[in-house]
Structure 1
Amino acid sequence: MEAAIEVKGLRKSFKDAEVLKGVDFEVKRGEIFALLGSNGAGKTTVVRILATLLKQDGGTARVTGHDVASKPDRVRQSISLTGQFAAVDEILTGRENLLMIAKLRHLEHPRRVADELLNRFGLHGAADRKASAYSGGMRRRLDIAMSLIGNPQVIFLDEPTTGLDPEARIEAWRIVKELADGGTTVFLTTQYLEEAEQLADRIAILHEGRIIADGTLQDLKKRFPPAKTEYVEKQPSLEEIFLAIIGNREVK
């Protein structure tokens, strides 16, 4: 399967702090890829470099076949980014937010595009209400809907469910699965390990500036000591695997 993202030897420092120390990974087209790491591990730095918002100090990164450093315009045409906080204009209505992005993207029939997305994300009944009156889950749905205008090949979701209640998180998970089912490549960073366990086709763990594990959930489980059979064989959770791999506690 063709790669949507290729990263080799990626390095980035901020003053005297080396955040990325040679990061390597690949994301296949149409898969959900989860990048895990503790706070400050450099997950957002990776996303910002891949989204052409930040320049790396070394190494290479290609998104949809285009080098992020030499062809940033081509990369931006093929991607979308949803950050940790919903980037909606609260003064505008849901429909007006979508119309604004569709016009900025120079799309034909922006009202039709807006209506299709309002229907798809269950926001049609609230289309003419100001976004300031939306719940957290509704704002996140609107934010992701805005990100899909122009049919990006790759969408970056940087901790997309931070601050959402459990019901809204599950709703966001459904949307992410639908995106991947429709052929969109989803690059997800999250602090919720259950989220990666539920959604990701492949998982990478970023620790102390490097990728220290990369594979499917089943691949990562193989790195965990065999389950002890007592009354019931207990399979390790992704949280237990993550903590064991980064060495934050002994495996018991």
Structure 2
Amino acid sequence: MTRQSHPHHEPEPAAAPAPGLAVEARGLHKAYGAVHVLDGVDLRVRSGDVFALLGPNGAGKTTTVRILATLLAADGGTARVAGHDVTAERARVRRAISLTGQYAALDAQQTGAENLRMMARLSGLSRPAAARRATELLERFDLAGAARRRVATYSGGMRRRLDLAASLVGAPSVLFLDEPTTGLDPRSRLAVWEVVGELARGGVTVFLTTQYLEEADRLADRIAVIDGGRIVAEGTAAELKRRVAGTRLDLTLTDPAAYRHAADLLDTLVVRRDPERLLLGVTTDGRAADVRRLLDAVDPEHRLVQRFALHTATLDDVFLTLTGGTPATPAAATISEESSRV
């Protein structure tokens, strides 16, 4: 697709860096022809935080990361990463960051140790320093036992951990992870989450894009929801859940006619719709009086509601309400009440 310029979104003069921010973007625009991928994105990420950019496929997550990582030029707006303008100071930005994409960028025919030594040499370390750095990272990511094995023999989770290790060879202050657990099994995903948590505790700012709701809920200090190239909500996981509904009442209706009647009656109170299961999720304050009021309003004759359940609102509710989309991999996207950060 041919890239076009958009005169009405000319880049603005670079602003001075805001103190305490690792990433700052103002009014980012990007379009391909008539398709506006980003439509005025603003972001502020504090140093040392894990920040999650959450959204459905095609929402603009990867485009945002590519602009912040200097791999793509915005059509308008400004951005600073690690205190440097991504357009005027590209080289300084690149020295301060590392980017790990959805798929491991490794030489499968080399061993784990050889991959890391090669990356270290490319980053400018001497041969002895590269060997020391490779050994240190292999131990840190629990890969020392596989250091002499060819990467072709690694599992998906091991490859992803090695890829993360490679991204830290240059000791970046900001690490961009673009959907880092895509395609991993649940055990490997948990291992990557543990690594990300460890990096954050070590002071690295992590900018994470994901479709997995549990991933954002467990890892992120703050979350921004992007849809259609725009940020539609931002806050902590708890703040976003309260914004949609502090508590959700799930109603399972007796038949399709009852489902349609209840959906029309409840209207804007509905935060979750599942026609196949005849289930509606409704906002409530969780008090018994409010639950009784809703049930009486929907089903005064006690014939339409088959059963009901009360839940604390989840990022699933946030995602569906704000984007109208479907979370990736439903099994992985379901958030239990006991979820906690790594």
Report the TM-score range of the alignment, normalised by the length of the smaller protein. over 0.9
Which residue matches 2:311? Answer: 234
Which residue matches 1:245? Answer: 322
1:104 equivalent to 2:122? Answer yes
User: Matched residues in 2 for 1:248 and 1:96: separation?
Assistant: 42
1:215 equivalent to 2:292? Answer no
Aligned length: 249
User: Matched residues in 2 for 1:55 and 1:196: separation?
Assistant: 27
How big is the alpha-carbon RMSD for the aligned residues of Structure 1 and Structure 2? 1.5
Which residue matches 1:171? Answer: 191
Which residue matches 1:9? Answer: 27
* One of 66, 69, 72 as aligned partner of 1:54: 72
Which residue matches 1:65? Answer: 83
1:85 equivalent to 2:103? Answer yes
Deviation per residue, 1:199-229 (Å, 9 max, x gap): 0000001111110101101111221134243
Q: Secondary structure, in 3 states, of the residue corresponding to 2:39?
A: strand
* One of 154, 160, 167 as aligned partner of 1:140: 160
Q: Is the 8 A contact 2:55 2:61 kept in 1?
A: yes
Report 1 or 2 for greater relative contact order, CA contacts < 8 Å, sequence distance ≥ 6: 1
Which residue identity does 2:317 align to in structure 1? E
Which residue matches 1:185? Answer: 205
Deviation at 1:14, TM superposition (A): 1.2
1:41 equivalent to 2:118? Answer no
Deviation at 1:248, TM superposition (A): 5.2
Structure number with greater Rg is 2
Deviation at 1:233, TM superposition (A): 4.8
Q: Secondary structure, in 3 states, of the residue corresponding to 2:311?
A: coil
4+ residue runs of structure 1 moved beyond 6 angstroms? none
User: Matched residues in 2 for 1:187 and 1:201: separation?
Assistant: 11
1:158 equivalent to 2:178? Answer yes
1:26 equivalent to 2:44? Answer yes
User: Matched residues in 2 for 1:120 and 1:176: separation?
Assistant: 12
1:94 equivalent to 2:112? Answer yes
Q: Secondary structure, in 3 states, of the residue corresponding to 1:106?
A: coil
User: Matched residues in 2 for 1:27 and 1:117: separation?
Assistant: 26
Matched-pair identity in %: 57
Q: Is the 8 A contact 2:23 2:81 kept in 1?
A: yes
Deviation per residue, 1:107-162 (Å, 9 max, x gap): 24110100011111111111111101100000000000000011100000000000
Consecutive unaligned residues of structure 2, counting only runs of 5 or more, are 1-18, 248-283, 292-307, 327-342
